Structure 1
Amino acid sequence: MLKKLIILRNKIDILDKKLLEIINKRLILVKKVGIIKNKHKLPIYDPKREKYIIKRKRKEAKKKGISPNLIEKILYCIINESYLYEQKKNFKKLNSDILTILIITNNKMGHFFKKMLIMSNYSVIIIELENFKVNNNINDLFLNISIVIISINISIPYFDILIYKLKKLPKNCTIIIISSIENILIKKISKIHKGPILGLYPLFNLKSIILIKKSILCCFIHKSKSYIWFLKQMEIWGLKIKNIDIIKYNKFLFLKSLQYFSTLIIYNIFLLKKNEPLEKQLSLFSIPFCDLNLFPLKKKFLKDLKLYINTILFSNSNEKNIRKYLIHMNNIINLIQKKKIKEIINIFKYN
């Protein structure tokens, strides 16, 4: 019996070795595909191709009596590994007319865009916000600058300094704003810069290993023709572009800010005001509760609380929206007090 087991295991080992060889051959072919994509300025991610592969192989697996779900999981692992390779190589530069890109930042997202742009063969200068604030040679800095990317998390007093220095930008320079406070920045920058302006809101965090299939909101503010190439450049990186108009964009940012702010208030009332350390209180709860990432939330919003209050109140219409929000909250509280379970469930049902 033991002898038969050893024979069977040896056969499995041989098949595993062949499987590794097949996967290696596939990855070699993927590299060749990547070279062709790069040459012809094609995006890394091809959703139609991926969907076709998965659908076809699921059918073939079913015919052979193999679990389609198993084959799908295996294929996704192999495909994702291919995407990881694609992310590590250099990308095709789409706009050879761009001389230099300046990034003003004090966060990781700014450095992420620096990395991706350098991998796309653009000349990039990155300045930390503190250094930019004290830089008196601003006219020299703006020489030959085609694009300024602003990716910041700052408090309100610094806006005026930033806006004042941006007044010295050439009129044809494109400003790209990547921030959780775009609505305030866009409003102020639009008044002093009549050149191209683009608002971006990444719908991903930088902890993601694979950038492919991640989305980014794009809002055209001024002269969109000047930066259409930049959107296509991000598509080559693997990002999915979601265009949105300024009205929906501002509404989205308001709701996002309100979500964070209301969450902060709730946890400030129920957790942060207690004498025990927050870490100790959270340890009493389940994992799903901790998944809300309260530690960065606390750090981020307590640090710039005034900023996020201003973000919520930047528009007169937001006051009405906040009142509606409070009315809904009060209605839910009343239902909870009366233990009307069905009514509470119905609130979350879509028509």
Structure 2
Amino acid sequence: MTEKSSDNIKLNETKSNETGQGFDHLRDEIDRIDKSLVKLIAQRLKVTKEIGEIKSDLGLALYHPEREAELIKNKRSYAKELGLSPDLIEDVIRRIIRDSYKSQNAQRAISSKSESKEIVIVGGRGQLGKLFGDLFEKNGDKISVIEKQDHLNSEECLAKLKKADLVLISVPINVTLSVIEKVAKVLNIHNPNCILADVTSIKNQPVQEMLSQHQGAVVGLHPMFGPDIETFAKQTVAVCHGRLKENYQWLLDLLSKKGINLVDVEAKTHDDLMSIIQVLRHLSTVAYGNHLRHEDIDLNKILELSSPIYRLELIMVGRLFAQDPILYSDIIFSDKNNIKMIKRFIERISETLSFVENDDKQSFIQSFNETKEWFGEFADKFAKESNHLIAKAGDGGGIL
């Protein structure tokens, strides 16, 4: 090494050291600020936990959309005053709020104003059954479980059913109707005033079966979420009213107090909508995953070259294949009427493919614009909402 080269290396090292020394104190300041932020968040969560305890004691709802909307509005306004991005502050606040709901959801929510109920969950050791069992237990209710190996006319099962205020059916779709029939026969003899409800993802047949087989109150529920949720706040449950709503109003009130959004819908309408929301979406996702497998795609290479929006799409495909295939097969195979709708979807795929095969860009663009017009203002609304998800997907895969 020449003397000149040695001098250049020393000079570069000196500049590097000087540069580091020039902002090391700023890095230290950032570390101190970050620690302060963490402490403040911890203090906030402690306060929200106390609020949750008070809400539980008073029997108040966990989630107040008006209060949250006002809070977000005020914080966005304050961010503007400080020259900060309102979107940044809203993202931070919403994430903190979500963790607050999670903390409050974990609390035992016994209200001095509520009366303890006797609840039997048929299929209560399944994932969804356990989830609702946990909800009821935290409300101070007494939970009993009946599983498929239990005999309904056994002394133990009869004892549970005779004193039940609510029997909740939480079993696979393919056995729901037979279970309803068997349970209803026992209830009609021993506990006709009991509420009979189910949480199956199809509603028309189960609700009709409960109404025809059971003398008492009936309600069909469809939780639009899986058993892996962290909090009930902001989740949705479809409610298909059957009979004697006044008898099960306490159940709806409890779900509302946990922050669940209840959507009233006729059972037949529910199933028609689910053919789009669940059946078509799940089938398309399964088919797309199968296509990737048969094309022998290297997922690592796809991820390296993926835009954030495609990464999101791939995440949702992979998420489905991480779950139980029986669940999805039950949903997709639940109603033969879904086949007609699926065939119409395939016809529209073929029509769109024909535009490409015939190099007919004009027809493609015309079809695109007609669909855009059909979406109307929702197109721009969905674009804005998706921008937040895309940004998170671009943060080093932070949403995984």
- The answer for the alignment partner of 2:210 in structure 1 is 189
Q: State the Cα distance separating 1:104 from its structure 2 match.
A: 0.4
- Aligned-residue offset at 1:103: 0.1
Which of the pair is proportionally richer in helix? 2
SS at match of 1:42: coil
Distance 1:281 1:211, change over 3 A: farther
| Inter-partner Cα distance in structure 2 for 1:244 and 1:94 | 32
Map residues 122-271 of structure 1 onto 2, 5 A cutoff.
122-128=141-147, 130-133=148-151, 136-137=154-155, 138-156=157-175, 159-160=177-178, 162-169=180-187, 170-256=191-277, 258-259=279-280, 263=284, 267=287, 271=290
Structure 2: segments with no counterpart, 5+ residues: 1-17, 304-310, 357-362, 377-400
> What letter is aligned with 1:238?
G
3-state SS in 2 of match to 1:312:
coil
Deviates more, 1:37-46 or 1:279-288: 279-288
Q: Is residue 73 from structure 1 mapped to residue 98 from structure 2 by the alignment?
A: no
Residues 335 and 343, structure 1, Cα contact 8 Å, conserved in 2: no
Task: In structure 1, give the amino acid aligned to 2:169.
Answer: I
Gaps of 5+ in 1: none
Mapped pair 1:333 → 2:350: yes
TM norm structure 2: 0.72
Taking the aligned partners of 2:167 and 2:325, their CA distance within structure 1 comes to 28
For residues 120 and 302 of structure 1, the distance between their equivalents in structure 2, rounded to whole angstroms, comes to: 31
Mark the CA change 1:66 to 1:257 in structure 2 (over 3 Å): closer, same or farther: closer
For the residues of structure 2 that align with 1:5 and 1:290, how far apart are their CA atoms? Answer: 39
Following TM superposition, by how much is the alpha carbon of 1:14 offset from its aligned partner in structure 2, in angstroms?
Answer: 3.4
- 1:291 maps to what in 2? 316
| Matched residue SS, 1:200 | strand
The answer to whether 1:25 aligns with 2:43 is: yes
**Letter in structure 2 aligned against 1:75:** I
Where does residue 44 of structure 1 map in the other structure? 62
Which secondary structure does the structure 2 equivalent of 1:81 belong to? helix
Deviation at residue 290 of structure 1 after TM alignment? 5.9
Following superposition, the deviation at residue 6 of structure 1 comes to 3.3
- Give 1 or 2 for the bigger CA radius of gyration: 2
Alignment of 1:59 onto 2:77: yes
- The match for 1:114 is 133
Identity of aligned residues (%): 23
Query: Is 1:133–1:162's contact at 8 Å kept on the other side of the alignment?
Result: no
How big is the shift at 1:196? Answer: 0.9
**Scaled by the length of structure 1, what TM-score is found?**
0.81
Structure 2: which amino acid aligns with 1:8?
L
Superposed CA RMSD in Å reads 3.3
1:218 counterpart letter in structure 2: V
